[in-house]
Amino acid sequence: MSDINVTTPSLTPVVNLSEARTALVNAVIKTGGVIQTYADGICAAFNLLDNQGNVTTPWYELKGKLKAGVKDERALFVIAMSNVGFGKGTIDVYWQRVKEASGYVTAGNRAKGGTDTDSKTVAELKTIINRIYKAEENGEECVASNFKGQLMEIFEELGGDIDKLG
């Protein structure tokens, strides 16, 4: 009886980082265009216009009953993003990017100012929002998560930089 030696090729994958990096960069470039297309659609659907077609109130500034359609669209956006596995933090960031693509000026790009009370409030809101993020990352379910988006909007309106959260 003869011995048979079987050798198998190495199963170690070979990754071309240059190709992977290029693919990522190309996808990121496309993301901006996709966000802008979605933002343009939301603007067309919800911005209030005067008789000449000029925007009188952008969708992100609507209040009360006028905001109902925007709330519904946001809920559908959250469901769609959640269905593909994105968490609340990522969903909020992408919604913020849609708002910015629609013309919303973030607090970081607005003139700074405010009272000492406002500065303290911004700092405390940052702490609260980051606490909620940490709880979510740890898998905790907290009622405060339901209000994180609103807290982030207030934080931003008072001059906080949304990109420095989390």
Q: Give the domain-ending residue among 57, 89, 104.
A: 104
Per-residue pLDDT tens digits for 2-55: 566 655 555 656 677 888 888 878 887 788 888 999 999 999 999 999 999 999
| Nearest residue to 98 via CA among 32, 52, 150 | 32
Domain count, the chain: 2
Q: Both 71 and 94 in a single domain?
A: yes
Structural domain containing residue 136: 111-166
pLDDT for 83 equals: 94
pLDDT for 61 equals: 92
Q: Both 94 and 32 in a single domain?
A: yes
Q: Is the pTM of this model over 0.85?
A: no
pLDDT for 110 equals: 56
> Using H for helix, E for strand and C for coil, what is the string for the chain?
CCCCCCCCCCCCCCCCHHHHHHHHHHHHHHHHHHHHHHHHHHHHHHCEECCCCCEEECHHHCCHHHHHHHHHHHHHHHHHHHHCCCCHHHHHHHHHHHHHHCCCCCHHHCCCCCCHHHHHHHHHHHHHHHHHHHHHHCCCCCHHHHHHHHHHHHHHHCCCCHHHCC
Per-residue pLDDT tens digits for 58-116: 999 999 999 999 999 999 999 999 999 989 888 998 899 899 999 998 766 555 555 57
